[in-house]
Copies of this chain bind each other. A is one copy, B any other.
């Protein structure tokens, strides 16, 4: 197994995601006796307090589970100010001691769950310890949380810093969407099904839609989010990653670098955004006050820590084109935003309508066929097809052939972070972002940000609890299309019923 050295061990991500993931892995037997964790942060506290904090994160305050004792005994804490030489020395000593006690045999993972500004200094300090080089029978890997830079220049700087200390194969750039079951499943859906293979191109696909909607607002992340915005925070990484998985050519083999090469090819084929395209095909928005369900919520500019005249976008919708033979002319619509009506993520592949539908004259509402990959909160797949409505009338109605993966309590879907941590332990970087992927994404994002600088948006332009700015709908309506709603399975049923 390995020693995890977790920077940012008192932080939100560690608390919400990493400790629960490790606990779940421990319970499944994916971690063994040679696993240990050294939490590093500035806060002064003892191991016991740290363990109590982990216990809180996983709902184990009452110590009820017998396996909790052996799990918690592997958690250690170091209070460190890494600007101080003494702290660095203490870090080195502590790591070496733990490695000896837990027989981790030089298998070492540095996990950076810290503010982006600290990435470079911490990496430098790891180097100072001399522990970035693993002993010959071990390994040393560095996991770096998003955001990986702020733009291409800063990302390149950060990468430079990392590469001075680590080789590319040691670096695991997290995009936790790649750990989500249904995002991983897109590859299987595409490459394990004879049915979809012939349809997966411009001849049969009309458009693709990628939606990641949040109903939460900026929460306590204003200081980060004010500088980032939705484009950097979500599109640069999650949405573009999903797009590449949907659009990529089949690799020769399902191997890490071959898959990454194909994803990079998609990024290279993305049509660039000149100023005209940004005006026509990129919509940004910022939420004003509104209602989410039956709760009144403030606008973005009224959120704690947000500039009352903030120009940060909390919503983006845009059209990508993959300019290659497979996808020429097929729009890939992507949208993401905060404080939207619903939360959820899905990929919708809408197939071209029939060229000459026999049923058209009788029923003007002949729906297009759609494959919907539901990423969260429901994990599943549904295919919308047209079917005869029961009864004498020859009425055609859309119905959904549905598969829900996480509706069945017997199927235990691992959380994204479990998958990704296991990948790091096993040295499999397939579900992590390679540097050239990150660089190409940033370069695309930069051109949009640049074009945006030239024009002042009118904010707020959508109400909290709405579906985003009206312009996002116009983006599709100009092509005679519309966004496919989230969580719509029930809508289809309802339609069938009301029509029957």
The residues of A with any CB-CB pair to B shorter than 8 Å are: 30, 181, 184-185, 187-189, 191-199, 203-204, 250-251, 253-254, 351-354, 357-359, 362, 366, 368-369, 379, 381-383, 385-388, 390-392, 394, 396, 399-403, 405-406, 408, 410-414, 418-419, 422-423, 493, 496-497, 500
A420 to chain B minimum Cβ distance, whole angstroms, is: 10
CB within 8 A of A396: which of B192, B379, B500? B192
Using A194-B204, A254-B358, A254-B394 as known contacts, list a sample of 15 further A-B pairs with CB atoms less than 8 Å apart, ordered by residue number in A. A181-B388, A188-B388, A189-B386, A192-B396, A194-B369, A199-B199, A381-B399, A387-B403, A390-B405, A390-B414, A392-B414, A392-B419, A408-B493, A410-B497, A411-B500
Among B199, B392, B410, the residue within 8 A (CB) of A500 is B410
Provide the residues of chain B in CB contact with A408, threshold 8 Å: 493, 497
A351, B204: Cβ atoms under 8 Å? no
Cross-chain pairs A/B with CB under 8 angstroms, 12 sampled: A188-B387, A191-B358, A192-B387, A192-B396, A193-B385, A195-B351, A198-B199, A250-B358, A253-B358, A390-B414, A410-B497, A412-B500
In the complex, which residues of chain B have a beta carbon less than 8 angstroms from the beta carbon of A198? Answer: 198-199, 203-204
Q: From residue A262, how far is it (CB to closest CB) to chain B in Å?
A: 11
Residues of B within 8 A of A254 (CB): 358-359, 362, 394
Cβ of A196: which chain B residues have Cβ within 8 Å of it? 385
Closest 3 interchain pairs by CB?
A401-B401, A192-B386, A195-B369
Shortest Cβ distance from residue A500 to the other chain B in the assembled complex, whole angstroms: 6
Question: Which chain B residues lie closer than 8 Å to A390 at the CB level?
Answer: 181, 379, 405-406, 411-414
How close is A1's CB to chain B, nearest CB, in angstroms?
15
Taking CB atoms, residues of chain B closer than 8 Å to A399 are 381, 403, 405
B195/A385 in contact, CB under 8 A? yes
- The minimal Cβ–Cβ distance linking A425 to chain B, given in whole angstroms, is 10
